[in-house]
Chains A and B, each alone.
Chain A
Amino acid sequence: MKREQWPFRPIHITNDGEQAPQGALLRKLAGPGIITNSHLQGIQSAICHKLRYPTTIIEFSPDGEPVRTDSPLLTFQMHPACGRFWDCTSSIPCAGDQRQGYFCKESDGCHAQFFRSLQAFELPTRLPKKPPQLGPLGEFYPGAPECDFGPVTHEGGRTFLFYDCPLLGYREALFPILFEDAVIGVLFIGQIVLEHKKRFIEQRMKALLSRQPHCFDAYLKREGRSRQPEDILSEVLEEHRKWIAQPESILTEERYKQLLSDTCSELAKFEQQLQTEMHEQRQRYIGEKVTERIGQFRKDLPADVPRDGDPLKPLWENVARTVGGIAEDFALRYVVVFGVSSLSTEEQSVLDIVAQAGSLPDQFSDPQKAGRIKLKLAGLPAEPYTQIIYASRRRNRGYLKLLRECDLGACGDLALVFLPVPLHPQSSIAILVGYWEHNPSASRENDAGADLDTALQSFNSLIVSSLSAILATTAQRHTVDQLRILGHEAGQLITGLDWMRVTYFANPTRLRDLDERRAEHLCRDLEGFQRQLRFIFDRATLLTQELPQLHKDLFQAFAELLYKWKDIYRLEALRKSLQFVTGFEGAEDPDRPALFADRILLEQLFYNLVNNAVKYCYRGTKIHLDCRLKSRRKGSPHILTVTDYGREMPNTEHVFDLYWRRDDSEQGLGIGLHLARQIALAHGGTISHESAKVSDYNVPLIEPYLKAPFHFSREPARLHDALRDELNRLKESRQHNEIVARTEKGDSKYAPSIRALADEIKRPTYRVTVMVEIPRDGGKGK
């Protein structure tokens, strides 16, 4: 199987950015992050500076030729006997790149291969074969013994190896430079070893001068002097003696060990820096590509809904183009989009394949099989975002169950199912993403996190856009502005998800280290995001069409509708210091028997009411939720009630009119209560509300205000007296406890700022209760 490359994986580490497969894009994104040999040379330069010691580095591009770079002092040090003549050797045949001095593909290439084998757990403890002499040096020293590689060594969590070269009187340590599990270069730190026989070098130089004097022709020419080879030799040897006499030239064992240790830590820092740069580069890449694709997607959306034919057809064609582009941009194996293929379809609980791209598995590529694959909404689990997390870890049974239920079978290297929301079909999209199972460069520990992170970013945008497009396609003109605000609400949640992604999913270590309680909160919040998104899209769908045919069944209304709201609004409750009071005493409560109604619509109704309450209540208050029989008499209807304490809701029937709002400064849409009434009426029920002033003051602020008199010394004393009287009255009538949210310890949840106290204390508090009455049989019909 061909291994596709992910953008900005080591394939893009190149000696020359122009040669990268997506060179044009790389140039466009020019800036920090694209790893070229200048990065590695930068590492080398910085390490030399830090260690105050010369090094050599060899960069290994996966496809291109390796390049060797020596730091300036290295030539002389590495070849003290012949360094002066190094420039003269260009006429000597060399196996590698001579621009940088020398490079031997066989020996130097061997180093990288060795480390790559180690990385692949093939675990050689020694190099597989001894490389031949280093290129031109073989010519200088014919017949010299080969270099001997030492065993693999570990220092500071890093694997490296030594080799001794008696020929050169030299020993080197080789450090692999790693990037996302690939060896992208090798750093050499060398050390002269005095025991390696200066005499041996002298002998070889003499032999060379006698046998190959032409080697020095260029040197002599450049020097412009007529010299005898013997003179040259004595000069070289004298230079060599002086050089090794310098204490800083010859490293002590202690200093060399220190150098190696420092190199390990410096390399680790640079590798981390490379990772950071690449991460930023990926973000930019994703931003660029997704912006481009989604921009095109929006641009290509038809301005008007076609009167003839199916209005969704051009939409899905557009989606197919977009996902095709995204699959290409991100080297995904395949993408399959499920959605409603036609607005006129009668099979509303099933999604068809509406767009696909990439190299599809058999299930999708075979037309006969593909025709049978449909996504049954009823069979999907209700926690898609949670599924994503577990799916990417490939350990979740629920995920496999999901695949079976979707008739997807074994999709081989399928890695992720992304299901935004099992919604009303007309606003549903499910996107199935296939990755290459053996992502060549994803780190083993982090691949789930990285891929998930990328997928969430890219597809969130597509989903939001697609859903918006569906809604726009089916919307009436006068709802455009309202849908825009709904889009804003959805955008808020997507932003919340994005921060959650940045905080946890983009950081697998943190995700792994979560304690049980925190992990539970994370899952609940994900569920909360998902449910709120679902209700927003549902609301938009309901806004633009008649209520769908009711699908009633018997369900435990209180348990299923009310109890979970604490979790769904956990974050809002935290920030606004709210407390949900359900008074729930158990599913067997005779006052709260099961209800026969359309579960989805009723849930939508309840969401609208709770959402309204959360929006308009004061901070630090309680929201009371209840569902009970109106009376114990046979056939008595159910009463759903949502009570909040905050701003007034006028006592007029108009509050349930479409687009009714008290004033323009309100954040609301004016559709939530209208839809609630429509749903109630569809069940043969009624909806009403009561709004009554309970205090002339903002009740949760009264106690904190009275406890902070110093700050309000300019206020007239009568306000203090009035507030104290009011507090006593509210406490005596037990209303205070009914209104003010408390912590488990019994303290007020809300700690207002001084400014809030001064500014908001004089706002009257209203008790607003919305009641929905639904017949026990859910109205007529099934």
Chain B
Amino acid sequence: MNILVVEDRGAVSFYLAEALQAEGHVVLEAYNTNDAQAHWDNRETTPIDCMIVDLQIPQDGLTEAEKEESRSGLLTGWLWLRGHVLPYVPEEYGSRVIICSDYLRDLMEFVGADGCRGIWLVPKRSPSGSAGEVLKRVREISGMGK
């Protein structure tokens, strides 16, 4: 599976990528929304079967209006998904998106309970470790086929 990982912290993304690669996936890494958009624009050549998105990432690539909306950058990842990804895919694609972040509460306040329906939300500081939860979801998505 080709997995897009949108994460700016090297301390997180490095071992995240290693874990996914160890499971046989191809990891497309993005440091900010610019990188993410570049991979997304290229999806006809390299389809993106799953994406793992952090919410707080550098705002490069967002419009000024989106930057205003981003709540001091806390919701950058969501704004990119909302504006540049979700409108261009069928609704069920949402089930292939995992948001892994510390700011899920801010997201829920911002979009409401229905706003991100179908998207898998994983808190970064989950007591049992967010990595296991993300991997589990990736395996489920992998089982869904392409």
A residues apposed to B, CB below 8 Å: 280, 283-284, 286-287, 290-291, 294, 457-458, 460-461, 464, 488, 491-496, 498-503, 507, 510, 525, 528-529, 532, 571-576, 619, 664-667, 753-756, 759-760
Chain B residue nearest in CB terms to A464: B125
Residues of chain A within 8 A (CB-CB) of B72 are 664-666
Residues of chain B within 8 A (CB-CB) of A283 are 128, 132, 136
With A287-B126, A502-B135 as contacts: A572 and B38 at CB distance below 8 Å = no
Q: Are A665 and B131 in contact (CB under 8 A)?
A: no
- Contact residue among A491, A528, A573, A759 (Cβ-Cβ distance under 8 Å from B124): A491
Q: Is B47 among interface residues, defined by CB-CB distance under 8 A?
A: no
Most buried by A among B14, B61, B102: B14
- Contact residue among B29, B37, B128 (Cβ-Cβ distance under 8 Å from A286): B128
Q: Are B11 and A529 in contact (CB under 8 A)?
A: yes
Q: Are B38 and A755 in contact (CB under 8 A)?
A: yes
With A510-B22, A754-B38, A755-B38 as contacts: A760 and B11 at CB distance below 8 Å = no
B:5-54 near A, CB below 8 Å: 8-16, 18-19, 22, 29, 31-32, 34-35, 37-39, 41
Chain B nearest CB, measured from A760 CB (Å): 6
Q: Are A502 and B129 in contact (CB under 8 A)?
A: yes
Q: Are A575 and B31 in contact (CB under 8 A)?
A: yes
Tell me the bound Cα distance from A464 to B130 in angstroms: 14
Residues of chain B within 8 A (CB-CB) of A753 are 34-35, 38-39
Q: Are B131 and A495 in contact (CB under 8 A)?
A: yes
Q: Are A665 and B127 in contact (CB under 8 A)?
A: no
With A287-B128, A464-B125, A488-B102 as contacts: A496 and B70 at CB distance below 8 Å = no
Residues of chain A within 8 A (CB-CB) of B16 are 499
Q: Are B10 and A572 in contact (CB under 8 A)?
A: yes
**How many B residues have CB within 8 A of the partner chain?**
42
Q: Are B129 and A575 in contact (CB under 8 A)?
A: no
Q: Is B137 among interface residues, defined by CB-CB distance under 8 A?
A: no
Q: Is B92 among interface residues, defined by CB-CB distance under 8 A?
A: no
Q: Is B2 among interface residues, defined by CB-CB distance under 8 A?
A: no
Q: Are B15 and A503 in contact (CB under 8 A)?
A: yes
Q: Are B38 and A499 in contact (CB under 8 A)?
A: no
Chain A nearest CB, measured from B88 CB (Å): 16
Q: Are B125 and A494 in contact (CB under 8 A)?
A: yes
Chain A residue nearest in CB terms to B62: A759
Majority SS at the chain A contact face: helix
Chain A nearest CB, measured from B75 CB (Å): 12
Residues of chain A within 8 A (CB-CB) of B10 are 571-576
Q: Are A503 and B18 in contact (CB under 8 A)?
A: yes
Q: Are A503 and B128 in contact (CB under 8 A)?
A: no
With A464-B125, A665-B67 as contacts: A759 and B61 at CB distance below 8 Å = yes
Chain A nearest CB, measured from B136 CB (Å): 7
B residues apposed to A, CB below 8 Å: 8-16, 18-19, 22, 29, 31-32, 34-35, 37-39, 41, 56, 59-61, 67, 70, 72-73, 100, 102, 124-132, 135-136
Residues of chain B within 8 A (CB-CB) of A494 are 125
User: Could you name 12 residue pairs across A and B whose Cβ atoms are closer than 8 Å?
Assistant: A284-B128, A286-B128, A461-B127, A488-B56, A492-B12, A495-B100, A495-B131, A502-B135, A503-B22, A510-B22, A573-B10, A665-B59
Residues of chain B within 8 A (CB-CB) of A499 are 12, 14-16, 18-19, 131
Chain B residue nearest in CB terms to A661: B72
Most buried by A among B8, B9, B29, B35: B9
Q: Are B12 and A496 in contact (CB under 8 A)?
A: yes
Residues of chain A within 8 A (CB-CB) of B100 are 495
Q: Are A495 and B128 in contact (CB under 8 A)?
A: no
Q: Are B125 and A491 in contact (CB under 8 A)?
A: yes
Residues of chain A within 8 A (CB-CB) of B67 are 665
- Contact residue among B19, B32, B38, B61 (Cβ-Cβ distance under 8 Å from A502): B19
Q: Are B15 and A496 in contact (CB under 8 A)?
A: yes
Residues of chain B within 8 A (CB-CB) of A461 are 125, 127-128
Tell me the bound Cα distance from A572 to B39 in angstroms: 21
Chain B residue nearest in CB terms to A499: B15
Chain A residue nearest in CB terms to B70: A665
Tell me the bound Cα distance from A507 to B16 in angstroms: 14
Tell me the bound Cα distance from A619 to B34 in angstroms: 13
- Contact residue among A286, A572, A664 (Cβ-Cβ distance under 8 Å from B9): A572
Residues of chain A within 8 A (CB-CB) of B70 are 665
Chain A residue nearest in CB terms to B59: A665
Chain B residue nearest in CB terms to A572: B10
- Contact residue among A287, A510, A575, A755 (Cβ-Cβ distance under 8 Å from B41): A755
Chain A nearest CB, measured from B124 CB (Å): 5
Most buried by B among A280, A499, A759: A499
Residues of chain A within 8 A (CB-CB) of B128 are 283-284, 286-287, 290-291, 457, 461
Most buried by B among A290, A488, A493, A760: A488
